[in-house]
């Protein structure tokens, strides 16, 4: 099955928006803190049941898929015509946006993983020997911040795809043996002139 640019663009955007939505909902559903229950020399934290860890995990997976399809969109041979990598990265703008897309993707994925793992550890390790422990959850804003970074990452991958299509068009235009528009090669003229 041949992919088209619209299919890949929609896939990158859809997974990026899903990662954003899951991250924002995880931020809104996350409790501020748990209830400390004091026992004999320990504090047991009771957290309300919430879907934060599951939503964070779904956001991580959606962002990963968005990044994979974004990376794929840069190097995929559209219409069966592949272009050398050096031709794609000849333009400084393409290099800058590609690097920014990679960095933002890694930051978004790292922040979302950090928030999800921290939240999961708070819930799993709920017995503490410090009697003053207040039962906190993951820091407020981590899920929301990483959700916005996930959306930014998918947008940067879409920009990279547009720049890739421009670089491909420029490269394939240079490879055209007919020359510039309106230019007639002498061999073609001679072939047409003879009856």
- What residues form DSSP beta bridges with 45? 36
26 part of a folded domain: yes
* Residue 30 and residue 138 in contact, taking contact as beta carbons nearer than 8 Å: yes
Cα pseudo-dihedral 110, 55, 97, 141, rounded to 10? -70
Q: What is the pLDDT of residue 1?
A: 41
130 part of a folded domain: yes
* Residue 46 and residue 134 in contact, taking contact as beta carbons nearer than 8 Å: no
Q: What does the alpha-carbon distance between residue 5 and residue 9 come to, in Å, rounded to a whole number?
A: 6
Tell me: pLDDT of 184 over 70.
no
Contacts of 167 (CB under 8 A, 6+ apart): 83, 87, 88, 89, 90, 91, 94
Contacts of 36 (CB under 8 A, 6+ apart): 43, 44, 45, 46, 133, 134, 135
191 part of a folded domain: no
* Residue 153 and residue 63 in contact, taking contact as beta carbons nearer than 8 Å: yes
Q: What does the alpha-carbon distance between residue 62 and residue 22 come to, in Å, rounded to a whole number?
A: 9
Tell me: pLDDT of 5 over 80.
no
Q: How many residues are there in the chain?
A: 195
156 part of a folded domain: yes
pLDDT band of residue 186 (cuts 50, 70, 90) is low
183 part of a folded domain: no
Tell me: pLDDT of 46 over 60.
yes
195 part of a folded domain: no
137 part of a folded domain: yes
How many domains is the chain built from? 1
Tell me: pLDDT of 38 over 90.
no
194 part of a folded domain: no
What pLDDT digit, counting tens, does each position of 59-98 carry?
999 999 999 999 998 888 877 778 888 888 888 899 999 9
- Angle (CA) 40-43-48 rounded to 5° is 135
- What residues form DSSP beta bridges with 127? 44
Domain of residue 128 covers 5-176
């Amino acid at each position: 099955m041949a992919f088209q640019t619209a299919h890949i663009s929609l896939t990158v955007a859809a997974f990026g928006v899903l990662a954003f939505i899951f991250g924002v909902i995880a931020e809104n559903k996350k409790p501020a803190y748990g209830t400390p229950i004091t026992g004999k020399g320990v504090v047991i934290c009771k957290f309300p049941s919430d879907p934060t860890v599951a939503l964070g995990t779904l956001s991580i997976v959606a962002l990963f898929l968005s990044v994979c399809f974004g990376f794929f969109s840069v190097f995929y041979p559209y219409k069966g015509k592949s272009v050398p990598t050096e031709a794609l990265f000849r333009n400084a703008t393409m290099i800058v946006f590609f690097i920014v897309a990679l960095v933002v993707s890694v930051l978004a994925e790292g922040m979302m993983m950090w928030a999800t793992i921290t939240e999961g550890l708070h819930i799993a390790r709920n017995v503490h020997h410090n009697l003053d422990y207040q039962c906190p959850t993951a820091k407020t804003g981590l899920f929301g911040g990483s959700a916005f970074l996930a959306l930014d990452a998918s947008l940067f991958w879409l920009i990279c795809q547009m720049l890739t299509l421009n670089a491909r068009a420029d490269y394939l235009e240079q490879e055209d043996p007919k020359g510039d528009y309106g230019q007639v090669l002498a061999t073609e003229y001679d072939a047409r002139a003879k009856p």
